[in-house]
Structure 1
Amino acid sequence: MVRVRLDVAYDGTDFSGWAVQPDRRTVAGVLGFELERILGAGVPTGLTVAGRTDAGVHATGQVCHVDLPDEAWAARESTLLRRLAGLLPGDIRVTRAVAVPAAFDARFSALFRRYAYRVTDAPYGAEPLRRRDTLAWARPLDVTRLNAAAQGLLGEHDFAAFCKRKEHATTKRAISIIEWQRQDDGVIVATVQADAFCQAMVRSLVGAMLSVGDGRREPDWPGSLLTRTARADDVPVVGPHGLTLVAVGYPDDESALAERADATRRLRV
């Protein structure tokens, strides 16, 4: 068997998230179906993703892996991308397919996930061609206040106030980057990078910071919520369409892949 890494991009608007669901159009469902059309029913196994994006969330840098028999990979390696491009719908693309060490695990070997959230405070709203990936905010936003709010969220904390808790799962996460920049076109982009995220965490963090950016809350408010041990009802959860998974990072050293996966499993499971 050979393990194959797939880099995937998609417009999440018309998907009910990543994970396969009965009678729902999902990224994993569509991708898995077309992989089996090309490789044969039951041939690709173990489809595993770096991060299960929610319904409506996009990706330009999603990563997953599948396991294939050696002969299936040898027969399709040179044509797999083109064949997928011909079969997949226009809102999902596989941008790279490459054999990786058996120790590579798209989920557990990851060092970080990086998301971008796009917001416009233009009085006319989002540009028509960007309406699917940009949130329109009705109040003017101050980037200085947004970044002041972000500072209180950096580092390793229990983010229970910003997460939908799952039974037997930790809500401790380590945020290494959280910053806001206003682009030349006036759109404000939040970059949030952490070792991992729990469900709705980025959208909750963004919602809390936007309440500071428009002057309704003080900059220390988001950080003060880190003392809570349960979901904070006063934290707004912004829409999924502004959110895009842009990158997943892995160890450069092949020998570190299994070590990282083992450490992450102990922490997350």
Structure 2
Amino acid sequence: MSDEVQPGFVRVRLDLSYDGTEFHGWAKQVGGRRTVQAEIEDALRTVTRSRDTTYELTVAGRTDAGVHARGQVAHVDLPQPLWEEHREKLLRRLAGRLPHDVRVWKAEEAPGGFNARFSAIWRRYAYRVTDHPGGVDPLLRGHVLWHDWPLDVDAMNTAAERLLGEHDFAAYCRRREGATTIRTLQELRWERGADGILMATVRADAFCHNMVRALVGAMLFVGDGHRSPDWPAKVLAAGVRDSAVHVVRPHGLTLEEVGYPADELLAARNLEARNKRSLPVAGSAAGGSLAGGRGGCC
């Protein structure tokens, strides 16, 4: 499948962040619900004086309603004359047009072969939780989950280690027609900061729907002693949704960073990520793209 930029157009990489509290997710929706994609595309149309023309964004990870992003990446293909006219003042003009809960920090011509979604080799999320008996700091209430049981970080990290690697994460994903649930979980660990807030770092090649929030929910059950450290791995091996796995609320989740290979490897990765894949184990799930149909979340 080709991803050639049309003649006369320039592919522009956008680095952005947003507070997801008031958004119904990333992707545009029928009915006019407020989304990040719609806000940026509307602002881009206004500041470039494109009137009725909308230049659509492709994003690295389509975050769900209420999920935040600090290091989101998108791309947009713009006509060369339009880009040349507006490139020097684009960031400042977008800052004046966008609402205060979304910001574009960088807009630059992308290297050849770049695709914000398919060229990515990993996405890194953070989920923040506090187990303080008094609850969440009011100034952090939109970004930190309160868990009203004391949490054992060592137990959660023991559970996390057993989930690393390439697996079928069907037990931790909401299935989507035609999309695989096979992922490579590259990093999963918990740390408690000096402020007492626990942060899970979760990095994978891609994520399927609800995956991070379901994994966090399972490990919180381990951390508060309701389940043993080997329970999340047993759920994974079973390959089906377990009613005991609670999908935690979205506001504690933030997309922190998206990783890409060296410029000369972008095109190859772009093609590779579109391939079908399955586990080399009889009976495992197959079908869908490497990026899981969404490249996102969580």
Give TM-score, length-normalised by structure 1: 0.97
Residue of structure 1 aligned with 2:131, choices 91, 116, 121:
121
**Offset of 1:38 from its aligned partner?**
1.3
Q: Output one character per residue of 1:196-251: Cα deviation in whole Å (capped at 9) or x when no partner.
A: 00010000000000000000000000011122233222210000000000000001
User: Which amino acid in structure 2 is aligned with residue 236 of structure 1?
Assistant: H
Unaligned runs of 5+ residues in structure 2 are 1-8, 277-288, 294-298
SS at the partner of 1:225? Answer: helix
For the aligned residues, what is the CA RMSD? 1.1
Residue of structure 2 aligned with 1:154, choices 148, 164, 170:
164
**Offset of 1:168 from its aligned partner?**
1.1
Residue of structure 2 aligned with 1:135, choices 136, 145, 169:
145
Q: Is the 8 A contact 1:2 1:102 kept in 2?
A: no
- Match of residue 98 from structure 1: 108
Residue of structure 1 aligned with 2:75, choices 65, 77, 90:
65
**Offset of 1:45 from its aligned partner?**
2.7
The whole-number CA distance in structure 2 between the counterparts of 1:228 and 1:147 is 21
What is the number of equivalent residue pairs in this alignment? 268
Residue of structure 2 aligned with 1:225, choices 208, 216, 235:
235
Q: Is the 8 A contact 2:174 2:210 kept in 1?
A: yes
Q: Is the 8 A contact 1:43 1:69 kept in 2?
A: no
User: Which amino acid in structure 2 is aligned with residue 27 of structure 1?
Assistant: V
Q: Output one character per residue of 1:111-159: Cα deviation in whole Å (capped at 9) or x when no partner.
A: 0000000000001111111100000010000110110110111111000
- Match of residue 13 from structure 1: 21
The whole-number CA distance in structure 2 between the counterparts of 1:260 and 1:187 is 36
Q: Structure 1 stretches (4+) deviating beyond 3 angstroms?
A: 41-44
Give TM-score, length-normalised by structure 2: 0.88
**Offset of 1:44 from its aligned partner?**
5.5
Percentage of matched positions with identical amino acids: 56
User: Which amino acid in structure 2 is aligned with residue 184 of structure 1?
Assistant: A
Unaligned runs of 5+ residues in structure 1 are none
> Cα–Cα, structure 1 residues 42 and 108, in superposed 2: closer, same or farther, change >3 Å?
farther
